Amino acid sequence: MKKFLRYLKYSYNSFKNRKNKIGARRTFKAFIHGFNVDEYAIYGLDKNNYKDYVPDYIRLKNRFKINGKASIILDNKLIFKSVFKDKIPLAKMCFYKIENHIYDNKNNPINLENFLNQMRDGKYILKPLNLGGGNQVKKIEIMDNKIIIDNKVSNLNEFGILINNMTSFIIEEVIRQAEYSHKIFPNSVNTIRMITIKNSNGEIEAITAVHRFGVKKSAPTDNLSRGGIVCEIDLETGTIKTEVSKVYPFEIKVHPDTNVKIYGTKIPRFNEIKKRIIECHKDFNFFNMIAWDTVVTKNDFVVIEANTSCEFDALQISNGLRKTKLNDFYVCYGVYK
């Protein structure tokens, strides 16, 4: 009964926040098969077999079965940085706040006034420590004593109120992404989500990767939950194969806002990035799965964060999850049957 009530709550929230409208009949059909409205539209369940796809609420319910108590290392951005800082390139942290106490990047406690005085001209990303999906992420630009928050002119007082009202966060410098990514959409940092697992032989391997791109509605983030585009990557060649999003629930070949070609784009140094991520996972092989968020830069790459699971909608772009290698992994660890 509790599971059913939890699903009802999930379905109601999904319906209330839906990006797509599919009509009453299709909404009911989605509901009885365990999918929300957006999933029904994204997966094309009016023509595709729903049995090939897995509803995301199942992942939310059982995701901690994968990495157990070690999940906290990946799910808390501050802990992740502390553990992985010497193993792989990470986004530069400038400040963080935890339980209403602010610290600089050397772990020195500072008050709000000192924090505001230490913020230099530049571009920054403010992110909650424990939230995902791009929730409450803010882009902050400081230039010549002017403060711009999410492309809106603000002031020191409003910025101070924003900082004071958030219990925990991390502030990082905005990453300068590679030219191909900036050209496709410049108003968000466009990330690669790569999933590595420990397979049945105990070996670490990369089994899937997607590239996310922001759109006007999702900026400054590229998150699918905020309307961004997600594109499948060929793991062998590093070439973008297909695209879909919650705003544009059909395959597209160019970015809807910039009209720049996406389909067929080859990601620079992709195989090198994949190799280094796998090697890093080997150093922490008590993790059964890591979902890495990385950004390709001009000469290298940077890992923004890592997660203990990944939204199913991002993984079921071209095929239902039941048809992929990842399905066997999730079944093995009891995320679903």
Q: In whole angstroms, what is the distance from residue 83 CA to residue 260 CA?
A: 38
Give the count of beta carbons closer than 10 Å to the beta carbon of residue 179.
11
Residue 9 has pLDDT above 60, yes or no: no
Sign of the four-CA dihedral 97, 100, 104, 108: negative
**pLDDT for position 5:** 52
Residue 26 has pLDDT above 60, yes or no: yes
Q: Dump pLDDT digits (tens) for 91-105.
A: 999 999 998 899 999
pLDDT > 70 fraction of the chain, expressed in percent and rounded? 90
The predicted model gives 281-286 an average pLDDT of 96
pTM score of the predicted model: 0.86
Residue 314 has pLDDT above 70, yes or no: yes
Please provide the average confidence, as pLDDT, over all residues in the chain. 86
Q: How many CA atoms lie within 13 A of 122 on its CB side?
A: 14
The predicted model gives 38-48 an average pLDDT of 84
Q: Please state the length of the chain.
A: 337
The predicted model gives 89-118 an average pLDDT of 92
Q: Dump pLDDT digits (tens) for 149-189.
A: 988 888 888 888 989 888 899 999 999 999 999 999 999 99
Q: In whole angstroms, what is the distance from residue 145 CA to residue 331 CA?
A: 54
Look at 39-43, 70-74, 107-111, 269-273 and tell me which has the smallest mean pLDDT: 39-43
The more confident residue out of 264 and 2 is 264
**pLDDT for position 336:** 86
Per-residue confidence band for 213, with pLDDT thresholds at 50, 70 and 90: very high
**pLDDT for position 247:** 64
**What φ, ψ does residue 272 adopt, rounded to 5°?**
-65, -45
For residue 233, give every residue at least 6 positions away whose Cβ sits within 8 Å of its Cβ, in sequence order, or none.
Answer: 192, 209, 210, 211, 239, 240, 241, 267, 270
C-alpha separations of 244 from 39, 210, 334 in Å: 12, 11, 28
Domains recognised in the chain with CATH numbers? 2-53 (no CATH), 69-89+177-332 (3.30.470.20), 93-173 (no CATH)
The more confident residue out of 24 and 12 is 24
The predicted model gives 51-73 an average pLDDT of 87
**pLDDT for position 146:** 87
**pLDDT for position 30:** 84
CB-neighbour burial class of residue 228 (10 A; exposed 0-12, middle 13-18, buried 19+): buried
**pLDDT for position 131:** 62
- What are 15's two structure tokens? 């319906």
Q: Dump pLDDT digits (tens) for 236-250.
A: 999 998 777 666 656
Q: In whole angstroms, what is the distance from residue 169 CA to residue 147 CA?
A: 19
**pLDDT for position 303:** 97
Sheet bearing 109-110, strands edge to edge: 109-110, 101-104, 93-98, 169-173, 122-128, 138-143, 146-149, 152-154
